[in-house]
Structure 1
Amino acid sequence: MTTSCTWDAVLTWRSRQQWLHRPAEAADPVAVVERLAGVQAQVTSAAEQAVAARRPEPGSGGEDVRAAVRERRLVKTWAARGTLHLLEARQAPAHLALIGAARTWEQGSWQKTFVTLAQMEKLAAAAHEALDGRVLTREELTTAVVEHAGDPDLAEHLASGWGTVLKPLAWQGVLVHGPSAEDRRVTFTRPDTFVPGWTGLPDPAEAARVLIPAYLGAYGPASAVTFDQWLCRGASRKAALRQWFAGLLADGVLAEVDVEGERLFARAGDLEALAGAADFDAVRLLPAFDQFVLGPGTADPRVVPPEHRAKVSRAGGWISPVVAYRGRVAGVWDGAEVTLFDERVPKDGIEAEQRRLKLI
């Protein structure tokens, strides 16, 4: 028998699953990152603010996040959608393995634009050797790789701030970001010699058994297509994607849910809570690039009103700070200025958040 529920119930349930009700557990930044299946860290301050928005006590929380990175309980690397993320260290191998399963760097168009597969193989071997027990800046890594590979053409690609040719190395478990240099330059190192207890990358099917339930625990119920868009912009091999979900369904880890006529997937253990989801009416001011938006994606009309999407997803890939209310984006904000899409949002709730953030 398929469980049925409404979108209102789903969205309020997600709010609590994403710890917008600020439970005691959210005092631990590592627990927050794990609960959200990673936190986008393209803008470091936004990642710190995303964690702080869920903490039970006001305060930036930035130092706690930075401490967790220094302690190597959080790992910074390229993950979902090719963007920089903070990942819980034990969960990180599953993220990287599942993104890497798409093998996007093997596509002809990618090789034509960037480097060939043969060059990528030389690059991976050179980086693996250069980063053995070492932490190198981008410039130091470039010098070491070009010398080892004997291919000066690699230097131009390695120097790109976008890290396009380095991302496949992350997804193969060759490198992660290291601690910032004294002059704040980015550094890289090998996860197996840097991250305590690093287990190496699992088989993609095994990784799926970790990451799909983790995603659905914060952003479910959802379709396999929505998961794939979140993971790698829909690049997963479709047969593999179907097999991952079918296996979890057959094993009773996942179940199908009918949400107002849509057949979606949820964790089997969440069905009872979904059916009896309690209301969550608190207003939250969430930072730029928050997982509340990125998890389901800005194209989800239940979360982001289509007529206001351009205010949320802006030019250059910028995701605006948002007003979250009843599981939906109800506005955007910039400092003390708030633009509401839904006038039912309680003004006292907004003011309470502004005081918490010391905006008023």
Structure 2
Amino acid sequence: MAASGSVRDHRMIGRLRLVSQRLTGDGAASVPELVRWMTAMQAQDLPAALWAVGVRVPGAGIADVRAAIDSGSVVRSWPMRGTLHLVAPEDLRWMLDLTAERLTRSIAARHRQLEIAWADVEKARDLALDRILADGPVSRSGLFKVFDAGGQPTQGQRGIHLLGTLCRHGWLVPGPLSGNQQLIAAFDEWIPASRLPGREEAIGEFMVRYFRSHGPATVRDFAWWTQLPLTEVRAAFQHVQGQLVELDIDGTSYWLSPEVASLLDSGVPGGRSLHLLPGFDEFVLGYTDRTPVLAPEHSDLIVPGGNGVFKKTVVAAGNVVGTWALQGTGSSAAVVPEFFDETRQLGPAAQAALTRAARRYLTFLAT
């Protein structure tokens, strides 16, 4: 059994998460390595997802992340929560095996409204695969034309629900990029090799990888992140908790890797760090309880009105302290921060860190 301990300072959670999420100096060596380490990265907003990877891979440019998607060494699909994520290709099928059935049940009423029966799904599958296997990956609009011509209407969200269902069941998958859209490919052609662990083994691996890449986090955080049933998650956790370290913080159990936990003795980095993170970044979004890094009174400034759209965040020493935006284009482009505390003045070290972070982002966009 791994050691456990207690931490009184909630602010330490954010700094430990910076380390787990490869946001400190020891970022990943490559784009595929980073995505595999993170297990899954929210990616409904493609430009945000590209930077979420880039900020964690020292020296990476936007072309490197796009190339990884184009080559299939990173895939972007709907592995959980009905939301696009970046994942390693060999992981997608077993993730879908864990999550697809529950999501399908949750949207059954919507499918009835859209008049989507299983026979319609099978017909759409045959239409899609006939077209793609003959002509290669197709755009979403092109695929919808195939559906419409084959007697499967796509208006009123019916098309996207058909596409999502075919992707969840492992027949189709978003493939190479075409601008900021993706062409739709046949799953078995785009991902020729998949791992297929059993359900209990898969949930255990999912949890260990989540806590190693997102910890400190709670079991409830993981259940929300994957939308797996909490009772099943708790049962499976009993078999893997020995690979992790427990931190008790005000009576709540947080779990993380032994390697990151050891920094509590040797020194946790990031005390003077400043990061410019994209909207929807896992550092903020990847937990059901975000209060350890985001004060509740500022939550509405990150997700205005609870509309589900996460703004870009300024993170200082593991805490969200503001938002930021890119203003201008080309050589006149500049990062403009907006801090929650407008009276707060940045000291010389913090201003230098902000300048470095902004330069890193602009360099990423240009390479």
What TM-score, normalized to structure 1? 0.81
| Distance in 1, Cα, partners of 2:276 & 2:41 | 16
More moved, 122-131 vs 97-106: 122-131
Give runs of aligned pairs for residues 300-315 of structure 1, distance below 5 A: 300-314=290-304
Which residue in the other structure is 1:219 paired with? 214
- How far off its partner does 1:344 sit? 7.6
Which residue in the other structure is 2:235 paired with? 243
| Distance in 2, Cα, partners of 1:344 & 1:94 | 49
| Distance in 1, Cα, partners of 2:189 & 2:353 | 47
Alignment counterpart, residue 171 of structure 2, candidates 158, 164, 174: 174
* 1:168 alignment partner AA: T
Which residue in the other structure is 2:351 paired with? 347
Which residue in the other structure is 2:336 paired with? 337
- How far off its partner does 1:158 sit? 6.5
Residues 285 and 135 of structure 1: CA distance in aligned 2, closer, same or farther (over 3 Å):
same
Give runs of aligned pairs for residues 141-290 of structure 1, distance below 5 A: 141-142=143-144, 144-145=146-147, 152-156=151-155, 160=159, 163-181=160-178, 186-199=182-195, 202-232=197-227, 236-249=228-241, 252-267=242-257, 270-273=260-263, 276-280=266-270, 281-290=272-281
Which residue in the other structure is 2:122 paired with? 122
- How far off its partner does 1:121 sit? 4.8
Which residue in the other structure is 1:12 paired with? 15
Residues 319 and 118 of structure 1: CA distance in aligned 2, closer, same or farther (over 3 Å):
same
Which residue in the other structure is 1:98 paired with? 98
* 2:323 alignment partner AA: V
| Distance in 1, Cα, partners of 2:260 & 2:355 | 33
State whether residues 5 and 258 of structure 1, in contact with CA within 8 Å, keep that contact through their aligned partners in structure 2. yes
After superposition, the C-alpha distances for 1:200-228 in whole angstroms (9 at most, x for unaligned) are x5443232122211211122232222112
* 1:170 alignment partner AA: C
State whether residues 4 and 247 of structure 2, in contact with CA within 8 Å, keep that contact through their aligned partners in structure 1. yes
Alignment counterpart, residue 47 of structure 1, candidates 35, 46, 49: 49
Unaligned 5+ runs, structure 2: 327-334
Residues 116 and 348 of structure 1: CA distance in aligned 2, closer, same or farther (over 3 Å):
same
State whether residues 48 and 62 of structure 1, in contact with CA within 8 Å, keep that contact through their aligned partners in structure 2. yes
- How far off its partner does 1:269 sit? 5.9
What TM-score, normalized to structure 2? 0.80
- How far off its partner does 1:320 sit? 1.0
* 2:71 alignment partner AA: E
State whether residues 78 and 84 of structure 1, in contact with CA within 8 Å, keep that contact through their aligned partners in structure 2. yes
State whether residues 333 and 339 of structure 1, in contact with CA within 8 Å, keep that contact through their aligned partners in structure 2. yes
| Distance in 2, Cα, partners of 1:217 & 1:87 | 16
Residues 179 and 218 of structure 1: CA distance in aligned 2, closer, same or farther (over 3 Å):
same
Which residue in the other structure is 2:330 paired with? none
Q: Percent identity?
A: 25
| Distance in 2, Cα, partners of 1:190 & 1:53 | 31
* 1:98 alignment partner AA: L
| Distance in 2, Cα, partners of 1:175 & 1:184 | 19
| Distance in 2, Cα, partners of 1:106 & 1:308 | 31
The alignment yields a C-alpha RMSD, in angstroms, of: 3.1
